[in-house]
Amino acid sequence: NNPSNQNVYYIILDAMLSVEAAQQMAIIDDANVVKKIEKLGLRYIDKSLSTYDKTFLTLTSIFYAAYHYREGDERYPNELIFFPFIMDEKDLNVPLISYLNQVSSTLYWIGNYMLPCFESLHYNCIYTSKIIEKISSLMTFFKTTPFRGIFRKIGAHSSQDAIGRFLTIIQRKGLPKKPFFAFIHQLAPHPPFSFTKTCGFAKVEKKGGKGIEGGYSDSYYCALQKIKEFMKTINKLDPDAIVVIQADHAWTFDDKINFTQGGKIFNAVKAPNSCFDKYGEPKTNVNSIRFVLNCAYGFDMPYRKDIHYRGFHFDELPQKGTVVEESVY
């Protein structure tokens, strides 16, 4: 209904805790973070929660615009049935691609070395160095070897910075001429902690995570800096665009003590006030993508119940391959 064909920028800040949780856990000490974010044109949505606590589950829920896996479902056999592997098919059957095709909008995917973009005729990959991209795609197999440290020094940190790579491209080549949906997966503040607070390259990868002195804290501040850089550029080049900046899951330092913090995600949206008035504030990943499809393209997709599911890895017996609903707030 009445599609606006606005460009959409959907940014994932991997493992980015909500501002409230980050302040409570002494990861950041800036009391004015939300005010600074909202000065950039974003609306910060507090008490947001991730649909799942695992990247591959949450990103699948975004591309399906639905809770694709629920408590009580049959165990999933492995991660190969989820994102990004669902994108590596000749006959792509992913709902988000179908929705974008209906409104003649093109998907641009900017990945990272953990989840690199797959070449496809159905969407476009964006990266500045094909050599680094190809090597980075092997990092899953070499992450426990000395090769990881070597790769950090030759370019892995730049592959983590999907926002920076995207900004470099559009500042050099300009925006695509036709309507598009940019999916940008920033591997930060998720480990490896390769950045300083001001987004310089940390020569020594910090192992610490918790608190002001930990590597996670530096990466969190860098992520805030990247938000600022991105919004200043997009507000100038594409002022009418819709922007979602949110985490796929949050971060925990002790599952037994702080597990519920793992569902409390950063979530900020730039969109016309009329869309917020009509659809309300989206507080989960699933409802955020539904908000975007409604606001930008004229779909009429109702929100789903706000639910956070905890997934279990394959070494977590006896619950491996299942999810359970967890209360976050």
pLDDT in tens, 235-267: 999 999 999 999 999 987 654 444 456 799 999
pLDDT score at 315: 75
pTM for this model (two decimals): 0.89
Nearest CA to 266 out of 233, 224, 310, 234 is that of 224
- Give residue-wise pLDDT tens across range 303-315: 999 999 999 877 7
- Give residue-wise pLDDT tens across range 119-158: 888 999 986 555 555 554 454 454 455 554 444 444 444 5
3-state secondary structure of 124: strand
Q: Give the single-character DSSP code of 119.
A: P
Q: Give the single-character DSSP code of 116.
A: P
Q: Token pair of 317, please?
A: 């017996």
Sign of CA dihedral 100, 106, 112, 115: positive
Higher pLDDT, residue 19 or 140: 19
**Tokens 């665009």 map to which residue?**
241
- Span 103-114, average pLDDT: 92
Give the length of the chain.
Answer: 329
Cα–Cα distance between 45 and 31 in angstroms, integer? 16
Mark out the alpha helices in the chain (DSSP H runs): 19-24, 33-39, 55-64, 95-102, 130-136, 139-142, 147-151, 157-160, 162-173, 215-237, 255-258, 273-279, 285-297
pLDDT score at 164: 93
Cα–Cα distance between 224 and 227 in angstroms, integer? 5
Nearest CA to 310 out of 329, 327, 324 is that of 324
Higher pLDDT, residue 158 or 86: 86
DSSP state string for 167-197: HHHHHHH---SS-EEEEEEE--SSSSEEE-T
Nearest CA to 246 out of 292, 200, 210 is that of 292
pLDDT score at 151: 45
- Span 21-34, average pLDDT: 90
Mean pLDDT estimate for the chain: 86
Q: Token pair of 98, please?
A: 């179908």
